[in-house]
Amino acid sequence: MVAAPILVTGAGGFIGYHVARRLLEAGQEVVGVDSLSDYYDPALKRARLSQLEARPGFINVHLDLADLDPTLGLFARHRFRTVLHLAAQPGVRYALTNPGAYTSANLAAFVHVLEACRHTRVGHLVYASSSSVYGGNTKLPFSEQDAVDHPVSLYAATKRANELMAHSYAHLFDLPTTGLRFFTVYGPWGRPDMAIYRFTERIGRGEPIEVAADGRVKRDFTFIDDAVEAVMRVLGGPAPGTAGAEGRPDRSALGPFRVFNIGGDRPSDLNRVIELIEAALGRSAVRVPMALPPGDVVATSADAASFSDAYERVTATPLEVGIPRFVDWYRRYHGLV
């Protein structure tokens, strides 16, 4: 019997591309969906997809998941057993000027995926949440047991809404769902709107970079290979004892639902990141101080204990290794070598 393909939504995106490639390398058939939105240059998304299309077993589908009927039709054709839903409108600051993109891509599309999973009896829905759901929390590291009732950006609010929607479908329809709260993933083929990419681009051109809060902003940077390894383990099946909200295996819970932090577990401030980019490029940055933008938080840090208990700990790639690997890819991709 031929195994059903795995659906990866957002396959032209950063994490989606890397996970799809890893699945294809393992011999798994992958249906990749992407709408090729223009939040950042779609040429990068098309370049990622072209890499996937060159491999056997990849089916590329151009689809906006906010369109219900085509989404239901896709699921009916392929009868997926496992779905990895990564497609979303990312970015904290963009929501200040284009909130409609978030209601369509993060809310409507997510409901449509849940409905499609329900009607085709998908065995496991794995979906991207975000460290942003921790919002105004100040206790570090962030744990899945922490309250997440105070989002400070629309993006964070939509990702928290995804978790609540997933919980309701787990309860109502016995749909196993696992949410992954990603912490600042970076690496080759990364997104141009993220700090490491923007700093590399501007420092390389000799242009000034804007640095918030004197570079004291701290993030739990997660190298892409580590994030992919975590996702692959989760795609192997729901964690043992999956039956509770907020990561607690509670036997009185209302459905097969879990959320996990996916973090590097080694927070670093922006000053260190900039120093490593400078070293990799062999150029010094011209810094322009700025205030912390609306919707951003001062620090993030992941408590990875729940994930480690369920799937075993993923060894974190240090920034001293990950940033040079990103800069090397950046130079090659842009023809600077």
**Euclidean distance between CA atoms 31 and 60, whole angstroms:** 6
Residue ranges of domains in the chain, CATH in brackets: 6-183+224-263+300-316 (3.40.50.720)
Tally DSSP H helices, then E strands, for the chain: 11, 13
Can you give the pLDDT at residue 324? Answer: 98
Single out the catalytic residue among 17, 155, 169, 186. 155
Label residue 293 by pLDDT band (50, 70, 90). Answer: confident
Label residue 295 by pLDDT band (50, 70, 90). Answer: confident
Can you give the pLDDT at residue 242? Answer: 64
Can you give the pLDDT at residue 136? Answer: 87
Q: What is the mean pLDDT of residues 104-124?
A: 98
150 token code pair: 């105070």
Q: Among this protein's residues, is 311 annotated catalytic?
A: no
Can you give the pLDDT at residue 243? Answer: 54
Can you give the pLDDT at residue 83? Answer: 98
**Euclidean distance between CA atoms 248 and 257, whole angstroms:** 9
- Evaluate if residue 246 carries a pLDDT over 50: no
**Euclidean distance between CA atoms 290 and 288, whole angstroms:** 7
* Whether pTM exceeds 0.85: yes
Instruction: Check: CB of residue 300 under 8 Å from CB of residue 133.
Output: no
Summarize pLDDT for 180-205 with one digit per residue, the tens.
999 999 999 999 999 999 999 999 99
**Euclidean distance between CA atoms 267 and 131, whole angstroms:** 13
% of the chain with per-residue pLDDT over 90:
88
Query: Three-state DSSP class for 128?
Result: strand
Q: What are the phi and psi torsion angles at 239 (to 5°)?
A: -65, 145
Label residue 253 by pLDDT band (50, 70, 90). Answer: low
Hey, which residues does 61 pair with through a beta bridge?
Answer: 33
**Euclidean distance between CA atoms 257 and 278, whole angstroms:** 43
Summarize pLDDT for 18-31 with one digit per residue, the tens.
999 999 999 999 99
Summarize pLDDT for 47-106 with one digit per residue, the tens.
999 999 999 999 999 999 999 999 999 999 999 999 999 999 999 999 999 999 999 999
